[in-house]
Structure 1
Amino acid sequence: MEESEQPEVAEGFVEPLADFERHLTSARDVSPHTLRAYTGDLRSLAAHLTMLGHDSVATLDLRALRSWLAQQQTLGRSRATMARRSASARAFTAWLARTGRLPTDPGAALASPKAHRPLPAALKQDEVRLLLDAAAEQAHHEDPIGCRDLAVLELLYATGIRVGELCGLDVDDLDDGRRVVRVLGKGRKERSVPYGAPAATAVDRWRAVRGQLARPGSGPALFLGARGGRIDPRTVRTVVHRRIADVPGAPDLGPHGLRHTAATHLLEGGADLRSVQELLGHASLATTQIYTHVTRDRLRSAYEQAHPRA
């Protein structure tokens, strides 16, 4: 069956799946991407249960969950996908038990494979310098697109914010006096992130020419697309990939790569892990700790190159 096809599910699963989707949207306020992933996973689970002869969630048990995951594994799903599908199932069964649709939570005993987390690629400090210097050259003669692109790159690197967070910024989210930006992150959690003088200068330069792209429907969006609407993540990704391609030897990174780069350079500069966690908006310190592996690898590389008895 193709991934895009809608699998057949028994009637007894339709209402619980719809109710859980509403719960994810209203109570947990998950992102559209997470919502699509969870609902797709659970529809796959319901289809598998239907195939096994289950006609409602009332008969859902640990054996059925393991059967579904085993079937997914035979389809060659990646470790990351398997980990997410286990998480989807556990969230669903916990909600079913909490709302009285199941007497106990079978997903609580469901083991989850750990997703392989490769070390994130990051630019070196001199590569960042070349990137931003090249972008500044493209912003000559007060060209609005060039000025916008420079401000986008400077702000992404200065703050380490996510591409969606950057696209959602409004003009008044920047506090010029304190040089901090108010960011609405995952789960609609708000945080304030500082930025430096180069980013402030680039943003000021962009705001001075923003009116050349603004249209009646532009609203308060800080960054605009060529047609005057709020800039979208695809445009930002294109900008980052195109500019980084101009830096000799630099890895091909997108906006998330600049986020990795900002975190890596903060830690290399002596920032503590908790501060970096807060700046990045990570809910768990474990997510931030992956950057310590990057800095450790770089330290090892520098040692081996520089120490006479390495």
Structure 2
Amino acid sequence: MKASKSLERGILSSYDHQKPSIRLGYYLMNLIVLVMMCVMVYPLLISLFNGLKVNKEVNSFPPTFLPRDGWHFDNYKRAWEYIDLPKYLKNTLFIFGGNMLIIVIVIGFAAFALSKMKFPFRRGIYYYFLLTLFVPATTYAIPNFVNLKELGLMGWYGAIWLPAGANAFYLLLLKTFMDGIHNETFESARIDGASEIRTFFQIAFPLSIPIFATLAIFVFATAWNDWFWPNFMLGQDYKPLSAAIKTLVLDARMLDLNMKFAILTIVMFPPIMIFLFFQKYILRGLYLGGVKG
């Protein structure tokens, strides 16, 4: 018997695709997705190709999409040597590592306490944390600045690490995930005499690795892309890559435009590649953090 071709089963069956109206809607949705993809990819390609042009061609009008006066790959070599990219990359990784450590210890303990420990006003405290999600970040920027200045953390990594422990969104994800871990596991550990700290590190944390891995990707993306607060709080020797790009590249008046595009392309693609490699872990972590088991 000859096997018949059929589409992969989704919300629409092969029978549904035989209806002209449904088929038209299906093609229309695919067209919309294709247009959205082109709109998102176009700026990346413009930055990549402009970094391969001579400066005169970048400033020409009408603009060209592909280089016409040759492909100047040496622009990227000069872009790498223009600023100390390894130094600012190291600063970015220091910020990421400190933020992740603070999140594991502070937010991890807070999520564990709100999920598995019983104490007065637990639900009210949880809602208080969630309430901060509705407060615009601009309203507490000045109070944060004053607090960090009085603590003597300005100009150093501590000005970035300390506020990382007050992220209500991460707290929500971690608590929701830990709510899905059976309480019997922790009760057995308490019966055996394990302290709450030991219970967290030996049971809660290992079982929460998927959601912590997802948060690590989010924290890395924030450390890589955020420039306003680090540029405002850190000294030049401690600034991450994004803040250095803002100061030394985007604000530089004497730097050729093709060199700016080359530097921006170098900085732009690593987080994209990381997301492409780890996207399944991001989606899985969000699913596990948003659905109670």
TM-score by length of 1: 0.23
Identify the structure with the greater helix proportion: 2
